[in-house]
A and B are shown apart, each in its own frame.
Chain A
């Protein structure tokens, strides 16, 4: 995995420093580690990192400072990916984040940080312009929608593939996660799209949006 240039924005010092340590140990460069949204914007403008890790809730109001900064950063620095994380998944935040497109954005639960291998893989995906959505986002959106009949028509395997697609993973990544061949994955993907009546899409990012929009309906 190539070395990334990263900016961290997290107001809890313990977590911020630990993240910086963990990422540095894996050969990445942490250009800056800040504690609020204004400092984040300044750091991104100065360092032009590959990706930023942003806590959604930061001072002063601890509501959505991180989210707003993330949306601005995506607009002003399209080559910088943004991986948002927070203690809870709020689907309306996911909707706002994805409104401008799924490329180069991610939204994970802070808990995912505990699995460092998966976290760094998601980070790399976002830095490369892909998507990384927490399975919890998918679950909440699916439960809130009215597509239960269609989703139940999928096999268990197909549902797994659907979830992984919604997280933003590519066919190759899905194959690796499920420990099957790429061909098998393609077959499942086609079946899912067929059963749900979605137009087929090669592009992982567009796929995410299509699936999410489907689930939200």
Chain B
């Protein structure tokens, strides 16, 4: 603030000094030609250094000259001050790299929190509508079967009915087990405990579209990515393969995973009809956001008519 005022003062001082001859003339008009009047020169430099006072009319022209020089220099000085100001403004208030990073982290954190809340809600719904209902039905059937078996120590009142109910209850139990198995696979596939290569191999094997698998990942557990990253990579591959099966109409797909230079790279390509994009309803936006949350990246090449290639790059730890 002070510097700007100082810069402005150069204009004022320059103007003041420039009109010194006029001032002399006015003063001497008022005072008569009483000598000894001295016209002060104001110097633009702080402390008034090096400003000769004008002792005569001729001297006033020297002052005027100083004023003219000051005025000529003023624009450059002012411009210099303004340039410094602009730089300071941008450095202190502008969106610096750090601020942008913070903003990005806040966004992805919010997405991650929403994501996990939505997942938990879906799990609760699946359990409530699926496994729990089946178990209640199973329990009911067993109770009804018990009644048909008659009193303890007494005759069996309805053996056929009892048998049928027990058989159905038995089938229910199998259904519940299968459902719980699917549910837990959706939470954390047990095969991931064997490592990403095996997990990806299982995905490829289960796919209804033939998948060519190419895996170049370290077996050494100290070089492997963290379990969280492996899980994300697995679910990305699973989602991408599901898209291939459901949307692409492809006859052949390639799943490739490679770890190099502290990055884990995943490729899923197919020879289908293409047209996949982050905007269409293929679960790609959700996938991209999960990747972003760990500072990974996703690249999609999917021209209409195909082929489609999706590349995901992840750090080795979140």
Contacts and interface: CB of A to CB of B under 8 A. Distances in A.
Interface stretch (B64-72, B89-97, B135-143): B135-143
B147 A114 contact: no
Contacts of A57: 128
Interface string B121-157: 0000100110011101101111110010000000000
Interface stretch (A12-20, A90-98, A142-150, A186-194): A12-20
Nearest to B147: A116
Nearest to B158: A25
B140 A12 contact: no
Nearest to A118: B143
A115 B137 contact: no
Contact of A114 (B128, B129, B143): B143
B129 A12 contact: yes
**Interface extent on A, as a size class?**
10 to 19
A92 B206 CA distance: 47
A18 B134 contact: no
Contacts of A12: 129, 133
A158 to B, nearest CB: 31
A114 B139 contact: yes
B144 A22 contact: yes
Contacts of B134: 14
Interface string A105-117: 0000011011110
Contacts of B125: 62
A111 B139 contact: yes
Interface in A8-35: 12, 14-15, 18-19, 22, 25
Interface residues of B, number: 15
A87 interface: yes
Contacts of B147: 116
Contact of A110 (B129, B136, B143): B136
A115 B143 contact: yes
B128 A116 contact: no
Nearest to A26: B147
A18 B129 contact: no
Nearest to B139: A114
Residue among A15, A57, A114, A115 facing the most chain B CB atoms (10 A cut-off):
A114
B164 to A, nearest CB: 12
B162 to A, nearest CB: 13
Nearest to A14: B137
Contacts of B137: 14-15, 18
Contacts of A114: 136, 139-140, 142-143
B125 to A, nearest CB: 8
B132 A116 contact: no
A200 to B, nearest CB: 37
Nearest to A86: B128
A4 B132 CA distance: 28
Given A12-B129, A87-B128, A116 B140 contact: yes
A19 B140 CA distance: 8
Nearest to A62: B125
A110 B141 CA distance: 14
Contacts of A111: 136, 139
Nearest to A57: B128
A63 to B, nearest CB: 12
Interface of B: 125, 128-129, 132-134, 136-137, 139-144, 147
Return the 4 tightest CB-CB contacts between A and B, nearest first: A114-B139, A12-B133, A116-B143, A14-B137
5 contacts: A14-B133, A18-B137, A87-B132, A113-B139, A116-B143
Given A14-B137, A19-B140, A57-B128, 6 more contacts: A22-B140, A87-B128, A110-B136, A114-B139, A114-B142, A116-B143
